[in-house]
Structure 1
C-alpha cells in the first residue's frame, strides 16, 4: 500500500473521550480491531489508518454530543457513511473517533407536490429510490456504488446522470449539520431558491467532513419520466466515440446518460456479465421524456454515431434489456478486476472541458501503454469525466511507482487542459498534492475558512488541505 502521512496523536485526550462516550453510548461504541479496520480506508491503495473507536449515533443531538466531547478534549472526529469513497477520506491519520452515521437512516418526509424530500445522512441512494418509487419520483444522482446520501453530499458526488441532472451541489436545497464546536446549524429551508446570506450549504457540500458533519439533507427530486430509452453503439476507436459524444452534446440532445467503455472494459463486461458486445469502444446512452421524444433522441444520436463510424447500434425501451446493460456498467469495477486476477484495482478520475475529451483520452491511453500499465477506462463522458482502474500488483514496487507516476501525470494533464484532477472522487488524502496546482492561491482562502471554523483541526484532519 502507499504510505499515508501520520499526524500527532492526542493520546490522553483520546483515552478520556473514549471513556466518556463508552459510558454514554454503551455497546454503540466499538473498539474491536475488526470494526476499527473497517472504518479506516479499504477502497484505495492508501494504507489503512484506523480510528481509536467507532460510535454509532442515532440522532443529530447525539452527533452534537459526540462532537462537543471531542472538541473539549481536542480529539479528531471522522464522519463515516458507507466507506465507498476512493481517496482515503475516512482514514484517521491522528487517530480519534469515527462517527458512523449508518443508524441515522430514516426518510423523514417526502413532499411530492414540491418535488423534494428530507432524509437523514445514512439513507442510501438505492433505499431512497425504493421508498420513492410508488410516488412516481426518483433521486437522480447515481455514483455507481450504493453510497449514503450524507457521504455523497460531503464528497460532492455525481455519476452517470450528471450530464442531465447535475451533481449533488445542484440537488441539495439545504442541510442540517453539526459544526466543530458541536453546535447544530441549518443552512436554509425548502424554498427552491434563496438569496439570504452566504451559501453555507455549498460550502459544506464537498468539504469531505473537514468543516462539519451533515446530519440531515433536503433534496430535490425528479418525476420518473414517461418513457426511458437506452441505446448502445460500438465504434472503431475511442477517438471516434469521443467525437460522437462531443457532437451529441453540442447538438443539444438532452441525453440523461452517456457512458464510454474502452475495448478492455467491454471485454471485461462480456466475460463478467454474460454479454456479447463487439469488443471495441462502446457508448451506452439513456434518453428520458415522452415515448416519441425519447425515441426521437435515440434516433438522432444514431445518425450522429453513423457519421463517426458507429456500428451495431441498438435502442430499447424494454425495462429488462435496459437494466441488463446498466447493471453491467455498474459492475465494471468487479468485471475489470477479472482482467488480472489477484491484482489490486486503483481507481482514479479527471474531468476536462468537453472539447478536450478526445485529446485527453488519447493521451491517457498512450501514457498507460508507455508505462506498461493495464488500465481499463470508463467514463461519464457527457460532461468530460472519465475513470481508469489501474490493475496493480501491490507487492511490486516498480508497478506501484509507475502507477503513482501515472496518477500524477494524469492530474497534471487535466489541469493543463483547464480541467480538474478529480471530477467526482474528491481530494481526501490521495489527490491533496494536486489541489494547489489546480487552484493556486484559492487554497489559502480554503485554509483560512478551515482555521476559522475548526481552529483545533479536529474535523477529519489531514484531508484536502495540508
Structure 2
C-alpha cells in the first residue's frame, strides 16, 4: 500500500466505520470487473457507506486528494462502467438497500440505491403494485438509473428515465442535491432528472430514488409465436405496433438462441425464430387483443402460436428468456459472453436484424440474435475465446459493423447497456457537436474529473484549454 493510500484509508476510517473501509485483495478484485468482456482493473480502496452523510464525507475526502470515485451496485453492467482503470475509491452501495417509503396512492416509492429490482417488487406486491423496468439481471435501482436501463417491458411502460421523479445526488464536492420532486409534471427549471439518469456515475453518486410504480394488471397473458424466417417475426412485431395493440412485452429469440433455451431450461420449444409476447389489461379487452394478434401472426406466416395464461406457464416462458445469457455461457465453456446493443427506428428493424444475422455468418462467429424488438432494440450474444486474437478481432469488427449500420439510420450505438468504456469511440459519430456540450457539463459539475473518469465523456480540463 502506498503512503497516499494509507493516508486515504485513515481519513476514510474517520468518516466511516473502519471495518467498512477495505484494501482486501479479494474484495478489490471483485470490484474491478463487471459482467462484460472488458479488461479488469482493481480499485485502491473499497468503502461501504450506510447513509447519504457518509457518502458525502467520502466524496469530500476523495476530492481533497483528487482521487477518483467509482459508484458500484452489483457489477451487472456490460460495458465496463464500474471498472476503475484510474484506480481510486470504489463506493459499494450494497449496505444502502432500504425501501424507505411506499406511497401507494401516489403510485410512488422511495428507495436507496442498493435496492434490487426483485427486492422492490417483492415489497410492492403487498400493495398490489409493481415496478416496471425489467432488464433481466437483478440489478440495483441506483445502477439501473445510472445507465438508463430498460428491458422487456419498455415497449409499454417506458425505460428507467420515464420512471424517475426525483433523485438525491452527492456531487463531486460533497454537496447533496435533489433533482426533482413528487409532482406528476413540472415546467420549472432544467430537467435534472434526465441529466443524471444515464450519466453512468460521471456527475454524481445517486443516494436515493423516487420512482413511479404501477398497479398489477388484472389479467396477464403470455404467448410464444414461432416463424420459419426471422424477417417474418420482425415484420409481425412492426404490424402489432402499427395496429395499436397495447402489448407489454415482445421479445425476439432467433434459432440458435432457441436451441440454447431448450438445452439450458429443459424446454421443448420449436427451434426456429420465436417471439415471446405478453399482454396486460382486463380480461375482456385482452381477449380482443389476443384475437387480433392471432390474425396478424397468421398474415406473417406464423408456424405456431401458444398462449400461456396460468402463472406457472408465464414464469417458465420468461425465465427461459431471462436465462438466455447464462444458457449461452453454460453451453460454450471456456468462452466469454460479449453482448452487442444497438437500437434503430422501428421501420429499420427488419433490415437491421437481417444485416446482423448475415454479418454473424460471414464472420464465422458463435452467437444468436435477440432483443426487445418492440422498441427497436436488439442484441447479439457472442461467445468468444479471449485467447484467440483473430476471433476477438472478428467480434470487434462485427460490433463496429452493426453500430455503424444503426448510426447510418439515425439509431444509437447503445439502446440500454450504456456507454461505459466500450462505446466511447462512437460518441463523436453519434452526437457530433452535442458531445462538446456534454463535456462542458462534465467540466462544470466535476472540474477535477474525479467521478468515474474516462467513462461516457473523458476530456480532461487541460485538454479543453
Distance 1:51 1:316 in 2: 47
1:19 has 2:10 as partner: yes
Distance 1:338 1:44 in 2: 16
Q: What residue is the counterpart of 2:335 in the other structure?
A: 343
- RMSD (Å), alpha carbons: 1.2
Residues 347, 329 of structure 1: alpha-carbon distance in 2 compared, 3 angstrom cutoff: same
Shift of 1:12: 6.0
Distance 1:182 1:430 in 2: 29
Distance 2:170 2:262 in 1: 46
Distance 2:60 2:331 in 1: 48
Conserved? CA contact 1:249–1:382, under 8 Å: yes
1:260 has 2:252 as partner: yes
Q: What residue is the counterpart of 1:133 in the other structure?
A: 125
Conserved? CA contact 1:229–1:295, under 8 Å: no
Shift of 1:137: 0.3
1:54 has 2:46 as partner: yes
Q: What residue is the counterpart of 2:140 in the other structure?
A: 148
Distance 1:442 1:347 in 2: 27
Shift of 1:345: 0.7
Q: For residues 110-125 of structure 1, what are the structure 2 equivalents within 5 Å?
A: 110-125=102-117
Conserved? CA contact 1:233–1:313, under 8 Å: yes
Q: What residue is the counterpart of 1:29 in the other structure?
A: 21
Q: For residues 421-432 of structure 1, what are the structure 2 equivalents within 5 Å?
A: 421-432=413-424
Conserved? CA contact 2:252–2:274, under 8 Å: yes
Conserved? CA contact 2:130–2:215, under 8 Å: yes
Distance 2:18 2:365 in 1: 49
Conserved? CA contact 2:37–2:338, under 8 Å: yes
Query: Any unmatched runs of 5+ in structure 2?
Result: 459-465
1:445 has 2:422 as partner: no
Shift of 1:353: 0.4
Q: What residue is the counterpart of 2:264 in the other structure?
A: 272
Distance 2:341 2:301 in 1: 27
Conserved? CA contact 1:50–1:95, under 8 Å: yes
1:462 has 2:462 as partner: no
Distance 2:6 2:170 in 1: 23
Q: What residue is the counterpart of 2:172 in the other structure?
A: 180
Conserved? CA contact 2:22–2:47, under 8 Å: yes
SS at match of 1:345: strand
Distance 1:340 1:48 in 2: 21
Runs of 4+ that moved beyond 3 A: 11-15
Conserved? CA contact 2:339–2:379, under 8 Å: yes
Shift of 1:423: 0.3
Distance 1:257 1:13 in 2: 51
Conserved? CA contact 1:392–1:400, under 8 Å: yes
Shift of 1:406: 1.0
Shift of 1:45: 1.4
Q: What residue is the counterpart of 1:406 in the other structure?
A: 398
Q: What residue is the counterpart of 1:312 in the other structure?
A: 304
SS at match of 1:113: coil
Q: What residue is the counterpart of 2:216 in the other structure?
A: 224
Shift of 1:403: 0.8
Distance 2:4 2:157 in 1: 45
The equivalent position to 2:76 in structure 1, one of 84, 87, 90, is 84
Q: What residue is the counterpart of 2:35 in the other structure?
A: 43
Shift of 1:212: 0.2
The equivalent position to 2:295 in structure 1, one of 289, 303, 311, is 303
1:168 has 2:168 as partner: no
Query: Any unmatched runs of 5+ in structure 1?
Result: 1-10
SS at match of 2:105: helix
Conserved? CA contact 1:70–1:77, under 8 Å: yes
Count of residues in correspondence between the two structures: 457
SS at match of 1:114: coil
CA deviation map 1:4-59 (0-9, x unaligned)? xxxxxxx7654432221134421101111111111111311111011101000000
Conserved? CA contact 2:43–2:84, under 8 Å: yes
Conserved? CA contact 1:258–1:284, under 8 Å: yes
